[in-house]
């Protein structure tokens, strides 16, 4: 499957179908939310299924700096929370973590003493002004140390406001950050949406996480079938000590679902619920529309089974990925192996992720001999030639680029992945799991 030489991993197309059962680590999105909620809770909480990755580990350390105590016991984390009153001061480094950075800007705004939030060179390029402006509108004090709207930024409270009007935002993570700290705000928080929010599916995930801990959340909806968020109201309240079980990560599962579809054979992913709330579960519906068999398993631990005939080609399909932006990277790469062009839309947030993911995917596919048309929030991916041009795909410090092209390299010869260990951001054991699934190390 692969040879690794320093900072490059050379892939080789498989000559056989796959037949494997793959255990996916815990959801990164849910892990980040539950780490914050447990840290802000009153008393002792227990978290199971927490993802061990660079993003989540840095967030846990950052929350520890503000007074929460985390202790590992077997497969669980025991968390002694701060009762809604984190201790400020010092500097917090979140590395490449976009979600942890946005969450910690909000948590730091609960502190009476200034806390400086910083990150990697890439994170210093990613905009945080929207989130900071929302917090300032609610009473926070912010101080930019380098340039306005970018890290590092010093944050402190108090948060005296209770209502905020939200228009179209660049990232739902800013709104989720407000929701997570809302119970600890003196007046609680009412969020009113003037238009459908960006990546609303992630806000639904935050609502579920809050309710799972026992927090009261009021939601009003409008639009077709009353599905669109109109407002979210979270009264001031203590976050109770709680127990949470983090389910497998749909964002990571999409890579092995794509492996079965591209190479042929079958992959079983236990414990993943197709009808769950994780936004990237949309990928499995899209995969079925392209011709793969996607089946929910009921026996045992449940899960999902993905099957495809060896040698079959997927169908070109047009898809809107606005609800599943993280899975869109694998979807774009997968589309390059279809029998016709595919138009993927709803990708506006991909421009400001760990890399400009539209540009990164397009560059990788073009280097392999493919044709990709791009717009500000869409791509049209044309089928790759059966014999790709040999190329080293630059991952631009982006874990999802590395994983997606690693999967492509199991189906097409000529793919090498630069900086393969960037996967440590979300799944440090990804390459080991891929080797076990394919039977080739």
Average pLDDT over residues 9-35: 96
- Distances 295 to 166, 248, 265, 311, 324 between C-alpha atoms, Å: 38, 17, 14, 20, 20
Q: What is the pLDDT of residue 5?
A: 53
Reported as half-sphere exposure (CB side, CA atoms, 13 A), residue 308 has a value of 26
| Range in 41-50, 162-171, 183-192 the model is least confident about | 162-171
By CB neighbour count within 10 A (0-12 exposed, 13-18 middle, 19+ buried), where does 75 fall? Answer: exposed
| Superfamily of 2-24+250-438 according to CATH | Enolpyruvate transferase domain (3.65.10.10)
* Residues with catalytic roles: 326
Local confidence band at 266 (pLDDT 50, 70, 90 cut-offs)? very high
- Which residues have CB under 8 Å from 6's CB, separation 6+? none
Sign of CA dihedral 145, 151, 152, 158: positive
State residue 369's pLDDT score.
Answer: 98
Residue % of the chain over a pLDDT of 90? 87
* Confidence (pLDDT) at 44: 98
* Sign of the C-alpha dihedral computed for residues 194, 196, 198 and 201 taken in this order: positive
**DSSP secondary structure, 224-271, as one string:** GGG-EEEEEEE-S-PPPP-EEEPPB-HHHHHHHHHHHHHH-EEEEEET
- When pLDDT is averaged across residues 131-148 and rounded to a whole number, the result is 96
The whole-number pLDDT of residue 4 equals 57
pLDDT mean over 327-332:
98
Q: How, if at all, do strands 415-418 and 391-393 pair?
A: parallel
Q: Which pLDDT value is given to residue 241?
A: 97
On whether the CB atoms of residues 34 and 81 are closer than 8 A, the answer is: no
Quick: pLDDT tens for 202-230: 999 999 999 999 999 999 998 877 889 99
Average pLDDT, rounded, for the chain: 94
The fold adopted by the segment(s) 28-233 is UDP-n-acetylglucosamine1-carboxyvinyl-transferase; Chain (3.65.10)
What share of the chain has pLDDT > 70, as a percent? Answer: 98
Could you tell me if 135 and 162 are in contact, meaning their C-beta atoms sit under 8 angstroms apart? no
Question: Do 28-233 and 2-24+250-438 have the same topology in CATH?
Answer: yes
Q: How many beta carbons lie within 10 A of that of residue 223, not counting itself?
A: 10
What residue segments make up the domains of the chain, in order of their start?
2-24+250-438, 28-233
Output phi, psi for 38, to 5 deg.
-65, -35
Say if CB 322 and CB 316 are below 8 A apart. no
Q: Which secondary-structure segment (H or E) carries 180?
A: helix 172-181
């Amino acid at each position: 499957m692969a040879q690794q030489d320093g900072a490059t991993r050379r892939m080789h197309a498989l000559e056989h179908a796959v037949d494997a059962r793959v255990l996916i680590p815990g959801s990164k999105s849910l892990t980040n939310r539950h780490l914050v909620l447990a840290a802000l809770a009153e008393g002792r909480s227990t978290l199971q299924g927490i993802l061990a990755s660079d993003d989540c580990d840095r967030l846990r350390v950052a929350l520890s700096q503000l007074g929460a105590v985390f202790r590992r016991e077997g497969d669980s984390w025991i968390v002694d929370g701060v009762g809604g009153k984190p201790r400020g001061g010092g500097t917090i480094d979140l590395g490449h973590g976009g979600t942890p950075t946005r969450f910690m800007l909000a948590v730091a705004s609960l502190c009476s003493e200034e806390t400086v939030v910083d990150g990697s060179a890439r994170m210093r390029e990613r905009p945080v002004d929207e989130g900071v402006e929302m917090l300032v509108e609610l009473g926070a004090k912010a101080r930019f140390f380098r340039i306005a709207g970018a890290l590092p930024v010093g944050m402190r409270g108090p948060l005296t406001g209770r209502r905020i009007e939200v228009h179209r935002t660049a990232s739902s993570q800013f709104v989720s950050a407000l929701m997570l700290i809302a119970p600890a705000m003196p007046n609680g928080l009412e969020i009113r949406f003037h238009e459908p929010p960006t990546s609303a599916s992630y806000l639904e995930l935050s609502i579920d996480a809050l309710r799972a801990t026992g927090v009261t959340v009021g939601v009003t909806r409008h639009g077709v079938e009353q599905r669109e968020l109109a407002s979210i109201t979270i009264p001031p309240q203590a976050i109770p000590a709680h127990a949470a079980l983090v389910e497998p990560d749909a964002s990571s599962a999409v890579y092995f679902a794509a492996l079965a579809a591209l190479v042929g054979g079958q992959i079983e992913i236990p414990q993943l619920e197709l009808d769950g709330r994780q936004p990237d579960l949309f990928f499995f519906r899209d995969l079925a529309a392209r011709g793969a068999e996607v089946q929910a398993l009921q026996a045992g631990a449940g899960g999902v089974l993905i099957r495809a005939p060896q040698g079959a080609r997927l169908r070109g399909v047009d898809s809107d990925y606005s609800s599943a932006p993280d899975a869109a990277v694998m979807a774009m790469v997968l589309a390059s192996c279809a029998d016709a062009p595919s138009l993927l839309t709803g990708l506006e947030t991909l421009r400001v992720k760990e890399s400009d993911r539209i540009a990164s995917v397009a560059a990788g596919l073009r280097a392999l001999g493919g044709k990709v048309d791009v717009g500000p929030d869409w791509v049209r991916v044309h089928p790759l030639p059966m014999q790709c041009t040999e190329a080293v795909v630059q991952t631009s410090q982006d874990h999802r680029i590395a994983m997606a092209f690693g999967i492509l390299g199991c189906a097409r010869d000529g793919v090498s992945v630069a900086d393969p260990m960037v996967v440590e951001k979300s799944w440090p054991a990804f390459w080991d799991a891929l080797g076990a699934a394919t039977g080739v190390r």
